[in-house]
Every structure is written in C-alpha cells, then in structure tokens.
C-alpha cells in the first residue's frame, strides 16, 4: 500500500533507489540484494492485483528505469448499477465455491463498494452453484492465468475410451450445461479443441515458460465448446446404421428404418438417424456390440471402433473376464 501511494503521488518516474529512500520498510533492508528482492516481490504482487505499474524514463539522458502509476489508469470510473444489475452481481458473487475463485469474487465486491456501489449479497432466493470439483480445474485455471502450455492424459469417449496424451495451449476454462471444459490450441492436432475436465486422467503438468500462450482476440470460448457438444442446425448430419433383426430397439425409436439389409450374412435393417454429436452416438452404438454397424459417416465408425477397442483392452486386462466378441480390429 505504501508503494502504491508513493507511485500515485508523482508524475515522474521514480528509480528504485529513490523509492528505497521514500517508502517505509525498504530502508531497513540489510543489503542491496535484500532490497531488490523485496522490491521485485512487491512489483509482481501489484501487477497480479491489476495495478497498472508503468516503467520508463523521464528523458533520453536517464540511464536507469523508473516507475510510476498513472492515476487515470488506476482509478475506477463511475459505476451506476440498476437494481436488476446489482442483483445479478450479488448472485455472481455467490456463484463460486472454489478457493481459487472465491477470493476474486470477494475482491470484486470490495472494489465496487469502495466506488460507492452497494451490492446486497443476500438479495434473491436463487442459490447458484458452479464449483469446479474436477481435480484438473485448479491447475488448468492457474495455467490459463500464467499463459503456460499444459500436458495431460485425456480419455476419449466414455469410461472405456482410449487414453491419449495431449499438449494444449490453454485459452480458458468454461462451464456449459453443468460440465467444465478446457478450451485451447491442441498442438498435436494443430487446431482449436475443447476437453471435458472430468475425462482428464492423472495430474496436469505445465510446460514451457510463462506468457508463452496468446489467446486470440476474437475467440469465443463458450461457442467453441457449444459447437463441439451440440452442433447447430446447419451442422447436423445423418448417420446410416445396420441394425440386426430384433435388436437395438432404443436406436430404432430415435431413427427411421429405411428397409431390410444384410451384414456378413445376418438379417437386419438399415436405419437412419440424426447425427448431432459423434461422441454421444458412438457410445450408444458401441453398447450394442456386433448388433449395430455404422455404414456412414466414417468418423462415427472410427469413434465406435475406438470405444470397442477400449472395452476390449479393459476386459483383456482382467484375467477372470472373457473378452467381448465382435470387436473390430
């Protein structure tokens, strides 16, 4: 606080030595090295708090950098919240249950009250909850804030899906329909991707230096997740399946039977149904084993094969259980 007051009170750039002689506490440092450690620590804390600390020189003849805080950048502008807006802020402050976010919400309320905005946290009867219970939530959020790439094991599809190592440049952690997702640039696929946090297996590890990840200015994180989870009407397609006679009545109710068809000599019918999300439909189909075969599209067929391979591997690892039949190679 003393450092903030000092840098707010001047229009000039103050050198570290000048600050050392002005701010209480710095003069007590036993050595120059101890002072610079204290000063660097305090500068980093101010920047983490969002204080706009400027570095520069007053003239081209100066040989040492100085520091100041521009009052126009530091002071909070006038805020006038309507009653419904104040209620929304109160609900938002009660939304977060995790320690990583509760402190930030409390700090935001303190700043609003300091600006003369009264926010009643007891307003409303709604009790919102959005806690990040997944173990990967905290390290991923920290990686996003630090701008560091991460690597982790991610299970594709359902519980029996294949576990794949991923290296991602994280852009953000968002919630959609009660589930948390990491959104970022997948270095392995060289494309933006989203990952459900509940499918991350084991610890999340950071790689590379801080500040190496840049979030695109025009990216919409929630929209990226929404498109991967539930494509819009213009993106919906049709899947063609072969269904064995007398089998998979649940899938039959969701689709339209186009006529009789055989597969490797077995009688059945060809079924068409709307393909909204590959992962979801692949899980349903894989649960029917050899009684349902994907005819089109190829990516759905491959997604089913991955889940069947995962089920085969899980059963093969247990000697007391026999491996499922009909698993494609």
CATH of the domain at 172: 2.30.30
Q: Report the mean per-residue pLDDT for the chain.
A: 78
16 closest CA partner among 27, 28, 8, 5: 27
Task: Please check whether residue 284 is in contact with residue 250, taking contact to mean a CB–CB distance below 8 angstroms.
Answer: yes
- Model confidence band, residue 322 (pLDDT cutoffs 50, 70, 90): very low
- pLDDT, tens only, 171-192: 998 887 767 889 999 998 888 8
Residue 50 lies in a domain: yes
For the chain, how far is it from start to end, CA to CA, in angstroms?
66
pLDDT at 276: 74
86, 103: one domain: yes
Residue 323 lies in a domain: no
190, 271: one domain: no
Instruction: Give helix 137-146 / helix 99-114 axis angle, nearest 10°.
Output: 50
- Model confidence band, residue 150 (pLDDT cutoffs 50, 70, 90): very high
Range of the domain at 273: 234-316
Residue 160 lies in a domain: yes
Rounded distance between C-alpha atoms, residue 221 and residue 236, angstroms: 21
Residue 32 lies in a domain: yes
Residue 152 lies in a domain: yes
Least confident of 49-63, 123-137, 271-285: 123-137
Instruction: Give helix 83-93 / helix 99-114 axis angle, nearest 10°.
Output: 150
Residue 54 lies in a domain: yes
Residue 329 lies in a domain: no
Radius of gyration, CA atoms only, the chain: 28
pLDDT at 321: 47
Rounded distance between C-alpha atoms, residue 284 and residue 307, angstroms: 10
pTM (predicted TM-score): 0.43
Assess whether pLDDT exceeds 60 at residue 128: no
Number of domains the chain is built from = 4
Mean pLDDT within 24-38:
85
- Model confidence band, residue 29 (pLDDT cutoffs 50, 70, 90): confident
pLDDT at 107: 60
172 closest CA partner among 128, 221, 101: 221
Residue 113 lies in a domain: yes
50, 90: one domain: no
190, 162: one domain: yes
Rounded distance between C-alpha atoms, residue 123 and residue 144, angstroms: 32
Assess whether pLDDT exceeds 60 at residue 125: no
Rounded distance between C-alpha atoms, residue 84 and residue 129, angstroms: 19
């Amino acid at each position: 606080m003393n450092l903030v007051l000092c840098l707010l009170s001047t229009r000039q750039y103050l050198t570290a030595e000048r600050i050392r002689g002005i701010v209480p506490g710095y003069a007590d440092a036993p050595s120059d090295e101890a002072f610079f450690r204290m000063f660097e620590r305090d500068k980093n804390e101010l920047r983490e708090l969002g204080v706009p600390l400027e570095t520069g020189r007053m003239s081209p003849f100066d040989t040492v950098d100085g520091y100041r805080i521009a009052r126009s950048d530091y002071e909070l502008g006038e805020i006038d919240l309507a009653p419904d807006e104040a209620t929304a802020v109160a609900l938002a402050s009660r939304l977060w249950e995790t320690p990583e976010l509760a402190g930030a919400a409390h700090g935001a309320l303190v700043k609003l009250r300091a600006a003369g905005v009264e926010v009643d946290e007891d307003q409303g009867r709604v009790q919102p909850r959005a806690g990040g219970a997944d173990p990967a939530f905290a390290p991923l959020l920290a990686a996003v804030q630090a701008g560091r790439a991460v690597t982790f094991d991610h299970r594709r599809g359902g519980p029996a899906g294949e576990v794949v190592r991923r290296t991602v440049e994280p852009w953000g952690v968002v919630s959609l329909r009660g589930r948390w997702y990491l959104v970022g640039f997948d270095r392995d696929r060289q494309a933006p991707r989203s990952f459900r946090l509940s499918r991350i297996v084991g610890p999340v590890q950071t790689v590379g230096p801080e500040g190496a990840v840049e979030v695109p200015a025009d990216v919409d994180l929630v929209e990226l997740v929404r498109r991967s989870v539930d494509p819009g009407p213009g993106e919906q397609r049709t899947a063609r399946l072969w269904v064995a006679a007398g089998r998979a009545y649940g899938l039959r109710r969701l689709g339209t039977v186009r006529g009789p068809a055989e597969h490797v000599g077995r009688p059945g019918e060809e079924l068409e149904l709307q393909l909204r999300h590959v992962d979801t439909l692949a899980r349903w189909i894989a649960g029917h084993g050899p009684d349902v075969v994907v005819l089109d599209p190829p990516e759905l067929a491959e997604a089913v094969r991955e889940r069947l391979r995962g089920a085969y591997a899980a059963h093969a690892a247990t000697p007391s259980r026999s491996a499922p039949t009909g698993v494609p190679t």
